[in-house]
Structure 1
C-alpha cells in the first residue's frame, strides 16, 4: 500500500522513491520547512544501493506532493542535506533516513557584508529574493534607511538578515511551492482578517479532532514604551504603543482581560518616529500570542491539508475558546495507514463568556 504522495527529484516524478516507508514534513511560522523520508535498506548485488543513489544525494532537489481531492498540493520543495543510516548485520532491517529542507536553507550558506542605503526594509528583501529566482510576496514597509542618517547594515547571511528585518516589522519569512515547482518567498505580517480556511470541530457530531489542548499565559506585555533622539534635529522620537496593532482573533484582548497595563521597552536606532513605531509594533505583535493550542487530525478525517500561516475556526471548545486561531505549525506524518497532521495554533484574544453553551449543537 502506497503513501498517496508523489516525490519528484530535480523536477521529475519518481515512482520508486515514493515507495518510502514513512514521510514527515514540518512547517512552522516564519521558519524553514524540513522533511524526513524513511527508506528500508538491504544488501543487493553485494552493495547497499540506496546509500549511493544520487537521487538521494547532497543537493538533490526533492518535492513532496500530496493528492487531495484529485488535486496535487506541494508540501515542500528543496534540497537534501543529510542522511542518517542504520545498518544491521546481513543487511535485512537496515534503513536510511533522508533529510532535507525548503529552498530557504540555500540563503543561509554565505556570509554577506552589505550596506543598504536609500532603501526600505521591503526593498532590500525584494532584491534578495530576486537573487534566488523566487517570486516575491512582500509586505511594504515605509521607513527608509538614508545614507546621511542610519544605513541598513547586513553582516550575516541573506536568510538571517531577512528574518531580522521580518521580526522588527512584525512579519514572518517563509517559502512555498506550487505543484508545478514555482516557488514564492513570503515576507508578510499575519493575515488575521477574513474567513477561516477550515474548521476544527470537537464535541459535535462527526468531529474531525478527538482532543484539543489549550494553554494560556497572561504574563506578557500589552504596551510599549520607546523613546529615541533624532540625531539630526535633536528632537525626541516617540515609539510608544498603547495596545496591539494586530486584529484580534477573539473579542477580548490580553489588555482587556488583565485590566491593567504591562509594558516593554524598545530601544533601537531610528531616524523618525514612524521607524521607531514600526519597531514597537513588531515587538508587541511577537508578544501577542498568549494562547497556544494543539490537536491532531488526518487528511482522511479532515478532508484537506492544513498549513502554517493560515486561519482556522475552532468549534466546540467552549464559549471562551471557540473561534478563530492562527495555525502556528503543522507536522505531516505520512505512512501507509494515514496522513496525520499534528497541529499547533495560537491566538491573541478570547471570547466574552456567553450564557450557555459550547457553541451550539453539542452531540
Structure 2
C-alpha cells in the first residue's frame, strides 16, 4: 500500500473476522465501485501458486473456504489515519486465471454489497392496507442478520389503500419491489456500509445531495493538478419536460399533467431545461393513479432527466488529492474553463488499490453548463 494508507480485510460466513497474514500477503489488487443508485461491488485479486507437495492437488488459496461464494467480505481503508468502510458485501463469483509463471496465476473473487441477498428469492405476496414506506421497512427488517438498519424517509403523499380499493401485491424479489415502490416518488433505495463495521444503512427516500463540498478536482494547473484525466460530455437530448393527461382513479375526472421545471438543487447558471433552444417533451401515459400521484411521477421523470446532462469522467491520484472522494456529495472542479468549472454531484467512484498505488476513477454530473460559484474548496 502507498505510505499513509492501510487496508483491512475481514472475511467469513456472517461474522467476518480479520483475514490471516497469508491471505493479506497474497492480495495483488483491490477494486471497489460505489454507485449512487445501483449496488456497489468489489473485486479482489490474489496471486496464487503451488509451493509444495500439499499443493499438487490444488492451489492452496483455492482450497480456502473463506473465499467461497456467499461468504461475507468487509473492506476498510485507513487514509491519513482515518478509517473508512469501503464495502460490506457478499462474494458472488470466483475466477482462476492459470499461468506458467511462478505465482503468475490469479484468483479473483468478485461480489456485491449486502443488498444482493435481497435479490435472490422471488415472491408473490400481498401487503393489504400498507403504504409504500411501511412495506419497505418491513421488507428491510427481514435482513437484520446482516446488520441492516432501515432509514426510511416518508413521502409527503401517503397512500394506504383499503381492501376494497386495491391491494398492493409484490411480484418479484424484495429488492426489486422496494425499488419499484421508491420509483413512484422519484425516490431511491440503496445499502451503504456503516456507521460501524458489521452494520449497514438501508436508505429509502429522496435522492440525497449532501451539503458538504469536497476538495476541488484540479486539472491543468501545474503543481496544483490532482487529476490524471478528465472527459466532459454535454448531452443535449437528456433533459425532458412532461405533458399529458390522467384520469384520476379516485374521482374519475380527467386532469392535465404538465411540468417543465426540476426540483433538483441548481449547480449551474445555464440549466438545459431553461437555456436550450429545444427540449424534448415526454408524454405521460401512465394510468391507475390519482392526480397527485401522477404529478409526483411527472416531477420524478424530469428530475431524473437532468441528472446526466453534463457528465464528467476522470481519474485522480489519491495521494495527490489527499482524501477519499465520496458519492452523493458535491465536489468542486477547476481548471477546465468557465463552461465546465464549478460544482458537481458525485455519481460514482471506483477505488483501485494495489501495491504502491491508489487511484480513484469517478463520474460527476450536473444539469447544464457554466458555474454558479467563483471559488471552490481546495
Alignment check: 8 A CA contact 2:226 2:320 kept: yes
* Deviations 1:146-201, CA, capped at 9 Å, x for gaps: 13334433211111112223333222222111242211012233333634133212
Would the alpha carbon gap of residues 144 and 246 (structure 1) be closer, same or farther in structure 2, given more than 3 Å must change? same
Would the alpha carbon gap of residues 245 and 137 (structure 1) be closer, same or farther in structure 2, given more than 3 Å must change? same
Normalised TM-score (structure 2): 0.87
Matched residue, 2:263: 245
SS of the counterpart of 2:323?
Answer: coil
Shift of 1:260: 4.7
Alpha-carbon distance in structure 2 between the residues aligned to 1:34 and 1:132: 19
Would the alpha carbon gap of residues 199 and 181 (structure 1) be closer, same or farther in structure 2, given more than 3 Å must change? farther
Alpha-carbon distance in structure 1 between the residues aligned to 2:124 and 2:257: 29
Equivalent of residue 83 in structure 2, options 72, 76, 83: 72
Q: Does 1:42 align with 2:52?
A: no
Alpha-carbon distance in structure 2 between the residues aligned to 1:177 and 1:360: 32
Matched residue, 1:135: 149
Alignment check: 8 A CA contact 2:184 2:297 kept: yes
Alpha-carbon distance in structure 2 between the residues aligned to 1:92 and 1:132: 39
Q: Comparing 142-151 with 306-315, which one deviates more in the overlay?
A: 142-151
Gaps of 5+ in 1: none
Matched residue, 1:30: 37
Q: Comparing 179-188 with 74-83, which one deviates more in the overlay?
A: 179-188
Matched residue, 1:55: 66
> What aligned pairs does 1:1-363 form with structure 2 within 5 A after superposition?
4-10=6-12, 11-16=16-21, 17-19=23-25, 20-44=27-51, 45=54, 46=56, 47-88=58-99, 92-133=103-144, 134-141=148-155, 142-146=157-161, 147-178=163-194, 179-192=196-209, 194-204=211-221, 205-288=223-306, 289-351=308-370
Q: Comparing 168-177 with 46-55, which one deviates more in the overlay?
A: 168-177
Shift of 1:298: 2.3
Aligned residues: 357
Q: Comparing 331-340 with 8-17, which one deviates more in the overlay?
A: 8-17
Shift of 1:274: 1.6
Alpha-carbon distance in structure 1 between the residues aligned to 2:153 and 2:372: 36
Alignment check: 8 A CA contact 1:5 1:67 kept: yes
What is the root-mean-square deviation in Å for CA atoms of aligned residues?
A: 2.4
Alpha-carbon distance in structure 1 between the residues aligned to 2:375 and 2:207: 29
Shift of 1:270: 4.1
Shift of 1:343: 0.5
Alpha-carbon distance in structure 2 between the residues aligned to 1:110 and 1:177: 23
Alignment check: 8 A CA contact 1:39 1:96 kept: yes
Alignment check: 8 A CA contact 2:211 2:329 kept: no
Alpha-carbon distance in structure 2 between the residues aligned to 1:35 and 1:68: 19
Normalised TM-score (structure 1): 0.90
Alignment check: 8 A CA contact 1:227 1:237 kept: yes
Alignment check: 8 A CA contact 2:249 2:288 kept: no
Alpha-carbon distance in structure 2 between the residues aligned to 1:242 and 1:257: 12
Shift of 1:290: 0.8
